[in-house]
Copies of this chain bind each other. A is one copy, B any other.
Amino acid sequence: MQKTIAITDAELDIMKVLWQQGALSSPEIFSLMENNDKSKSTLKTLLLRLVQKGAVRFEEINSRTYRYIPEITEEEYINHNSKNFINRVFDGSVQKMLLNFVKEEKITKADLERLIVQLEEE
């Protein structure tokens, strides 16, 4: 069982482009995050931290360019964070969460019905 790697919010923005693209050089990451206001330097720091914590590895492309590759998958991230969230906010109960979302009208009956149909189609 692999140890848990915590990814912070700022780091997550980088992971998202990496997950989407598979592997990117840092300039590529940077240009894909142009909407993001962070400086290039900030980006590099975040990338370095991701490498240090093992969330990303890199390969040398040529002498001064690297390709960064995600080491943990988006699924792993999602699963880990979902569990965390449900534990923290809903005492670990998915039921409790669902009930709350329905009560708060974040989920409608139509949503639920659609899901059931989807489930049956498989």
Contacts and interface: CB of A to CB of B under 8 A. Distances in A.
| Copies of the protein in its oligomer | 2
B88 A101 contact: no
B104 A119 contact: no
Contact of A85 (B85, B98, B100, B112): B85
A100 B115 contact: no
Interface in A63-100: 77-79, 81-82, 85, 88-90, 94-95, 97-100
A3 interface: no
A32 interface: no
A120 B100 CA distance: 16
A112 B115 contact: yes
A106 B90 CA distance: 14
